[in-house]
Structure 1
Amino acid sequence: MAYELYYWDGLQGRGEFVRLALEDAGADYVDVSRGAKKDGQGTGAMLTIMNSKTEPHIPFAPPFLKDGELIIPHVANILQYLGPKLRLAPKDEGLRYVAHGLQLTITDMVCEVHDTHHPLANSLYYEDQKDAAKKRAKDFIENRVPKFIGYFERVLAQNPHGDTQIIGNTTTYVDLSIFQVVEGLHYAFPRAMKKFGSLYPRVTALHDAVLERPNIAAYVDSERRIPFNESGIFRHYPELDQDA
C-alpha cells in the first residue's frame, strides 16, 4: 500500500522534507492534496482527517503521513518513522537518536526562517508586519544562519566516517533535509548567500552530493517538484535580503 502524504497543495513548505525522502528512496506514495476530489483526494481529504470527530489520533496540522491505519504527524517524527524503512537512517539504534536530534535542530531553524517574514503573527499578512520582518530577517542573516549552518559545518567536520554525510558513512534523511535548507536559503536570500560556499564548504559539498543522487536529480527536474514561491516557508522578498 502506498504511503499517503498530506500537506497543502501548491507549495513546498514543510512537506518537502518528507517528499525528498520518499523520492530519494523511490517509495510508492500519494501526495493526497494534489490529487482529484473524484478520487477521494484533494485538500478536502486532508481536512476531513484533521477535523474528524471519530479518528482517535487526529493530527494538529500538516504535514502528516498515513501508513495504513497509522497516522504520523510532524516532519521530524515522520522522518524518524520512515528513515529505517527507506534505508535513510543509521543502522545503529543509538545513532538514530542522534539523527533525530539533528532533524529537530533543522526544525528549529525552519521555524526561524518562517519568522523572517511572519515575525508578529501568522494571522497577519506579510504586508502588515513588513517593518518587523526587516528587523527579524537582518538578525536571522547576520546571527542565526551562521549559528545553525556553522553548527552543521562543525558536525560534518567531526564525522570520521563520511565526507558528505552528516552522520555515519551513508546518506540519511538528515542530509536530504540539509539540502532543502540550503536550497531554500539561496532562494529566499540570494544576496546574503553569495559567500555561502566559501563560508560553509562542507555543507555546500553535502548539498551538491545530494543533488547528484539520481532520484533527487530526477525529482528536482520534474513537475513533481513544486517551485519555491511566496506561499511557502522560504520566501523571497527583496527588501528582506541583504549582503551578509
Structure 2
Amino acid sequence: MSFELYYWDGLQGRGEFVRLALEEARADYVEVARGDEALGLGTASMLAVLGSRSEACPPFAPPFLRDGELLISQTANILFYLGPKLGLAPADEGLRYVANGLQLTIADAVTEVHDTHHPLASGLYYEDQKDAARLRAHDFIDHRLPKFMRYFERVLQQNPAGDAYLIGATLTYVDLSMFQLIDGLHYAFPKATRRFGEHYPCLAALHDAVAARPNIAAYLASERRLAYNESGIFRHYPELDKAAR
C-alpha cells in the first residue's frame, strides 16, 4: 500500500522535507493534493481530511501522512515515524531521539526563515509588512542564521563517526532535511550565503553530497521537484537579502 502525503499543491514548503525522505528511499507514495480529482484525489480531498468529523484526531494543517489506518501530522513527527521504515534513522533507539531533536531544531530554523518575510502576521500580504520584513530578515542574516549554522557545523564536526553525516555513519532523514534547509537558504538569500562554503565547509559538503545521491539527483531533475516560488517558505525578495557580516 502506498503512503499518502498531504500537502498544498504548487509548494515545496514543509512537505518537501518528507518528500526527500520518500524519494531517497524510493518509497511508493501518492501526493494527494496533486492527484486527479476523478480518482478521489486533489486539494478537496486533503481539505476533507482536515475538516473531517470522523477522524479520531484530525490534523491541524498539512503536511500529514496516511499509512493504512494511521494518520500522522507535523513534519518532524512524520519523519520520526518514517525514518526506521525507510532505513533513514539510526539503528540505535537512543540516537533516534537525538535525530528527532536535530530535526526539531531544523524546524525552528525553518520557522525563522518564514518569519523573515512575514514578521507581523501570516494573514497579511508581504507587501503589507515590507519594512518590518527588512528589519527581521537583516537581523536573521546577521545573528540567527550564523547561530544555527555554527551549531549544525559543530554537530557535524563532533560526530564520533565522522563529519560526513549529522548523526551516525550513514545517511538519515536529518541529513536530507539539512540539505533542504541549506538549499532553500541559497535561494532566498543568495548574497548572504555567497560564502557559505567558506564559513561552513562541512555543511556545504553535506549539501553537495546529498544532491549527488542517485535517487535525490533524479528527483531534483524531475517534474516532481517543484520550483521555489514566492508563495512558499523560502522566498527571494532582493530587498531582504544582503551580504553576511
1: CA distance, partners of 2:96 / 2:55: 30
Q: Distance in 2 between matches of 1:113 and 1:192?
A: 13
Q: Structure 2 matches for 1:191-210, cutoff 5 A?
A: 191-210=191-210
Distance 1:97 1:108 in 2: 16
Distance 1:91 1:74 in 2: 23
Paired positions, count: 244
Q: Within 5 Å, which residues of 2 pair with 1:79-158? A: 79-158=79-158
SS in 1 for 2:236: coil
Q: Hey, what does 2:64 align to over in structure 1?
A: 64
Query: Paired residue for 1:16?
Result: 16
Query: How far off its partner does 1:164 sit?
Result: 1.4
Give the structure 2 partner of residue 240 of structure 1. 240
Distance 1:54 1:33 in 2: 20
TM-score calculated relative to the size of structure 2: 0.99
Letter matched to residue 233 of structure 2: I
Please say which of residues 126-135 and 158-167 is displaced more in the overlay: 158-167
| Whole-angstrom CA distance in 2 between matches of 1:82 and 1:47 | 23
Q: Determine whether 1:26 maps to 2:21.
A: no
Match of 1:71, SS state, is strand
1:180 matched residue in structure 2: 180
Partners of 2:109 and 2:192 lie apart in 1 by 16
Measured in 2, the distance between the counterparts of 1:130 and 1:224 equals: 32
| 2:47 matched residue in structure 1 | 47
Deviation at 1:36, TM superposition (A): 1.0
Whole-angstrom CA distance in 1 between matches of 2:91 and 2:59: 29
The letter of the residue matching 1:31 is E
C-alpha displacement of 1:55:
1.0
Q: Distance in 2 between matches of 1:52 and 1:14?
A: 22
Matched residues in 2 for 1:77 and 1:46: separation?
Answer: 19
User: Aligned-pair RMSD on alpha carbons?
Assistant: 0.5
Identity of aligned residues (%): 70
In 2: Cα distance, 1:162 partner to 1:69 partner: 39
Q: Whole-Å Cα distance in 1 between the matches of residues 218 and 110 of structure 2?
A: 25
CA drift of 1:162 comes to 2.7
Alignment check: 8 A CA contact 1:88 1:171 kept:
yes
Residue identity matched to 2:115? D
One-letter identity of the residue aligned with 1:170: T
Alpha-carbon distance, 1:73 to partner: 0.2
Counterpart of 2:3 in structure 1 is 3
Task: Say if 1:162 and 1:170, in contact at 8 Å, map to a contact too.
Answer: no
**Whole-Å separation in 1 of the counterparts to 2:185 and 2:137:** 12
Q: Is the 8 A contact 1:7 1:63 kept in 2?
A: yes
Aligned equivalents of 1:162, 1:3: Cα separation in 2? 33
- TM-score, normalized by length of structure 1? 0.99
Q: Secondary structure at the match of 2:119?
A: coil
Which amino acid in the other structure matches residue 164 of structure 2? T
**Is there any run of 5+ residues in structure 1 with no aligned partner, and where?**
none
Give the aligned partner of residue 213 of structure 2. Answer: 213
- Alpha carbons 1:8, 1:62 under 8 Å: kept: yes
Match of 1:227 in 2: 227
Structure 2 residues without counterparts, runs of 5 or longer: none
Q: CA deviation at 1:163?
A: 2.6
The whole-number CA distance in structure 1 between the counterparts of 2:216 and 2:164 is 15
